[in-house]
Chains A and B, each alone.
Chain A
Amino acid sequence: MVPTSASLFRRQTGSDLAILEAKGLTVGIPTEDGTVHAVRNVSFSIKPGSLFGIAGESGSGKSVLTQAVMGLLPNADIGGEVWFEGRNLIGLSQEEMRRLRGGRIGMIFQDPLSSLHPFYTIGAQIAEVLHAHETISPAEARARVVDMLGKVGIPAPAERFDDYPHQFSGGMRQRVMIAMALILKPALVIADEPTTALDVTVQAQIVALLDTMRRDFGTTVILITHDLGLLSSVADDVMVMYAGHRLEYGRAEDVFRAPAHPYTAGLLRSTPASYRPGTELAPIGGRPPSLLATPAGCVFAPRCTEALPRCSSEPPPLRRYSDGVEALCWLEEGASTVRPTAKTATIAVKAAPPEPVAEIDDVCLTYQVGSFFGPKRALNVLKGVNLTVGRGETIGLVGESGCGKSTLARIVAGLVPATSGRVRVLGRDMGALDARQWREMRREVQLVFQDPFGSLNPRRRVGAIIGDPFRLHGLAKGDERREKVRHLMERVGLNPEHYNRFPAEFSGGQRQRIGIARALALNPALIICDEPVSALDVSIQAQVLNLLRELQRDLGLTYLFISHDLSVVRHVCDRIAVMQGGRIVEMETAERLFADPQHDYTRTLLSASKTLPAFAEAGRRSLVETRVAS
C-alpha cells in the first residue's frame, strides 16, 4: 500500500514526494502507574531535503516520537503508520529496522560525551557503522572514516582517528556524532537536541555544519529542539508538540511570524530571544499536565489565556488556514498575536554611580592540576578580573563553559580564596576575615544555583529548607521562623500551604523559587545567580526571570547574574561583562553591548545567539477547513 496523505487534509505537495510520513502516530509507554500517553495521534509529512523542526517543552513527547519511529522503544505500544521509502516502519521486524538504522536513517543525540562509548576510539566507533552495513576491509573503512572526519571539520583527521572521546571538546564530539550519522549518506537524519549541551558559539557552528552537510549530501533532517530562535532560522517546516499532541504544524516562516495556536504564541512570548527593549516576558502560567490521564477537552486548556467555555469539555477540532498552517484549537481566527501591554520594565540607567556592594580587584586563581602519572602543572582559571557591582544593579556575566564564571562567583561568595587580588564586599576584604566575620559575611552574599533539584536536600521539607538560613545563623525560632518562611514562600509565588512538602513534589520552576526564597531569607546585600534558569523550559524560565526582576524592583536587590545565554542576560541585566579565558574582555550597559559590541569575542557571541522574527499583524490568514475531532 502506498501512503496517500500525511496531513488529515490533502496537501498540494503530493504525498509520494514525502520522505517520511506519519499518520495518526500514537505511542503509549506502560509504567507502574499506568500507561504514559507520550504521543497521541500525530501526523506529519517531511519533504525530501528539507529541515523539519519539532518544538515543544520538556516532556512533550519529541524524543519518544522519534525513538518509537526508529524502533528504539521495544516496550512501547505504538499505533498508526509511519511511511519511509515505501514501507510502514511500524510493524517492521527487529532485523529490518536494524538495517535501516545507521544505514538509511542516522541519529544524532543531545549529549555527545555520553552518547559516545568512552572505551573505544572515535575512529573505531565510526568505522563500526560501515562494518555493520557493508562488507568492507578495515583499511578501506579507515580511509573513509578519515575522509568523513575531515568533512565535518576535525583537523588532522588521520591522527585523531585513534583518539578517545574524552580527548575531544564538546563541539568536536558532536562533529564526530554527525560524521557517524552521515557516513553512509542516509536519506534521513534525526537530530535530537544536538546543540543543547554545547556552548552558544559552538552551537552555531554545529547547526551550520548540519546545514552544510544536508545540502551536500541531500539528506533530510529532523531537528528536535526547544530553542525556538534556532528553529526559526533554519527550519523549513515545524511541528509544535505539547503533552504528546501536535498542536501546530506548518511552514516555519508562517508559524513563527504569526502563530495560529495559543500555545505557540505563548512560547514565543515567553522566549527571551524575542525580547524587545521595554517589554516584559510573558510566561505561560501553570505547568504541563500528567500524561497518564486523557483530558476531556483541549490538553492546553488549563494554561490557555484564550480558552473558551467549551475548551475544557470538548476535544478541539483541527483547523487549516490559507497559508497551510494547521492548529488543534477551538479558535477560528487563530491565536491573538497581540503582545501583553508592556509594563515599564527596563530599569532606568542609574544616573550617579551607585555605592558599590562588591569590588573585585585584579583577582587571579590558579589550580594545581596533575594527571595520575605525570607531573603537576598550574592551571590559570582567572587571570586578573576587575569588576564592581553597585547597589541595586544587575550585572550579567556571560561566557563559554570553562571561562571561569562560576569560579569567580565562588570567590565573591567567599567559598574559595583567590590566589591573588582582592575581593571586598560591603567594603570588607573577604580574604582577611576571621571565622566569625566570615560567617557574618556569608549572610550578605547568597547563591542561587542552576540545578534546582541537586541543590535541595530531597529528604527535608521545603519549610525547613527555606528556614535554614534562620537556623544556621540562630535568628528567628519556632512560630516566628515559621511565619517568616510562609511570608517568603508567598513572596516568591509558592503556596505557603505547601510548607510541609518535599522538593520532589515541586516542578523545576517551583524548586528554583524555593532556592530563591532561601537566598532572600536574610536580606543579603548581593545575590549571585549561577545559571538560574538554564535547566528550565522557556515558559517556566520566563516566570522565574520575571520573579527575579520583580523582587529587585520591590526589595532593591543586587544581582550578579551568570549565564551562557545572552538573550537571558540581556533581558535582566543593566550591565554585561563578557568573559573569555579567565578575563573580562568587554563590559558595557546591556543596550550598548548589543548595539555596538567592541570586542571580537562579543561579536561572535552575539551572532551566535538567534533572535526570533517580530510578530506580524494578525489577520493575514483565513480559515480554510475544519475537521472535527473523531
Chain B
Amino acid sequence: MIRFLTHRVGFGAGVLLVLSAFVFFLFFVAPGDPARMIAGDKATESQLAQIRKNLGVDRPIVVQYGVFMQKALSGDLGFSYRNQQPVAPIILRRIPVTLSLVLGGAVLWLSIGVPIGIMSARHVGSLRDRLGQAFILVGLSFPTFVLGMMSLYLLYFMPKQAGFTLFPAGGYKALASNPALWAWHLALPWTTLAMTMAAIYARLTRGQMLDVMGEDYIRTARAKGLTERRVVWKHGMRAALTPLVTQLGADIALLLGGVIVIEQVYGLQGVGALAVQAVANQDRPIIIGVVLLGGLFIVIANIVVDLLYVLLDPRVR
C-alpha cells in the first residue's frame, strides 16, 4: 500500500516535471518579446535590455528553467508580467471560484444523469428510454455557450423583463460569507455545466447498467426475492460504480484546470477566466502556473481514483 502510494506520487511528480519543462520550452520558442509587452511600444532598446535582465530572460533557457524550478519547489512561481504580482497568490485566489463551480456542478450532474441513465437502461426500448436518449442527444449536441446563453435568456433576462430577479446574471459570492447567496449566484452556471455533463453521465450509466443488469449475479439477486429497487440500486449500481468513479475523477480534475466557456459567460473570476486573460496578455508566468495547476489536479485525481478503485473492488485488494 505504502509502496503503491510512494510509487504513484513519484510518478506524478515526474509527470509534472516533464509538463513544466514542456510548457516552459514551448513559450521560449514561441514568438513575442515579454520586455516589449511590459514596456510598451515606445520603450528604447536599452530600456528593453534592462527589463530583460530584470526578468532574467536574457540568460540561456536551461538556466532560466533551473531557476524557475528551484523557486517553484518553494512555492514561488515568479511574477506576472502584467502587474508584477506573485503568480501563486493570483492563481490561488481563483481556485475557490472554480472549485465551487465544478464540485457543485458535479453533484447536480450526477443527480440528474445517473437516474436518467438507470431509467433508460431498465426500460430499454420503451418510451422512458427514448426520452432518456433524447435528453442525452440534446445535452451532447448543444455547445456549452449556447446552453449558457439560453439559460441566461430564460432564467435571468425574461424574469428581469417581467420585473423580478429569478437568478443573477453572474458574479461570485464567497461560500463562507453567505452560503445561500453563494448557491443563488452559482445556480445558472451549475445548470449550464450540468446539462452537458449529465448527458455524458446518463449515457455512461445507461451503457454500464445495460451490461451489468445482464450479469448472472443480478439474476441471483432477483431469485433471492429482493425488490426490483434493491436489485437495481444495491446490486446493479454497485457493480456499475467503478467505471463511473473513474470517469468522475478524470472529469473533475480536467474541469478544475479551468471551465473556460462557462466562466466567461457568467463573468466568474475562476481559473479558466484567468487562463484566458493570461493568454490574451501573453503573461507567460501565469500561463505556466495555470497549466501546472491543471496538471497537478489530474495527477492528484489519478491517485485518488486508483485508491478508490482498490477500495471499491475487493478483488484487487
A residues at B contact (CB < 8 Å): 70, 72, 94, 98-103, 106-107, 109, 111, 114-120, 128-129, 132-133, 164, 166, 177, 180, 372-373
Contact = CB atoms under 8 A, between A and B. Distances in A.
A102 B238 contact: no
Interface in B28-49: none
Contact of B225 (A101, A109, A118, A120): A101
B228 to A, nearest CB: 8
Interface string B278-317: 0000000000000000000000000000000000111110
B6 interface: no
Top-5 shortest CB links A-B:
A102-B225, A101-B225, A107-B223, A114-B216, A102-B224
Nearest to B241: A119
A98 B1 CA distance: 43
Nearest to B125: A75
Contact of A114 (B3, B217, B221, B314): B217
Contacts of B225: 98-103, 129, 132-133
Interface in B163-184: none
A101 B230 CA distance: 14
Contacts, number: 76
A115 B313 CA distance: 17
A590 to B, nearest CB: 37
Interface string B218-231: 01111111111010
SS class of chain B's interface: helix, strand, loop or mixed?
helix
Contacts of B3: 373
A132 B226 contact: yes
A93 B223 CA distance: 15
Given A102-B225, A115-B220, 6 more contacts: A72-B222, A118-B217, A119-B238, A119-B314, A133-B225, A164-B314
Contacts of A128: 224, 226
B239 interface: yes
B224 A132 contact: yes
A145 to B, nearest CB: 13
Contacts of B4: 372-373
Contacts of B58: none
Contact of B216 (A106, A109, A129, A373): A109
Nearest to A121: B314
A207 B1 CA distance: 42
Contacts of B228: 94, 98
Contact of B314 (A94, A118, A129): A118
Contacts of B128: none
A190 to B, nearest CB: 9
B194 to A, nearest CB: 28
A111 B216 CA distance: 8
Nearest to B2: A373
A457 to B, nearest CB: 25
B232 to A, nearest CB: 13
A330 to B, nearest CB: 39
Nearest to B312: A119
B315 A109 contact: no
Interface in B137-155: none
A101 B224 contact: yes
Contacts of B1: 373
Choose among B1, B222, B228, B312 the residue with the greatest number of A CB atoms under 10 Å from its CB.
Answer: B222
30 contacts: A98-B225, A98-B227, A100-B225, A101-B222, A101-B223, A102-B225, A106-B223, A107-B223, A109-B216, A109-B219, A114-B216, A115-B220, A116-B217, A116-B220, A117-B235, A117-B239, A118-B217, A118-B313, A118-B315, A119-B239, A119-B312, A119-B314, A129-B224, A132-B225, A133-B225, A164-B314, A164-B315, A177-B220, A372-B316, A373-B4
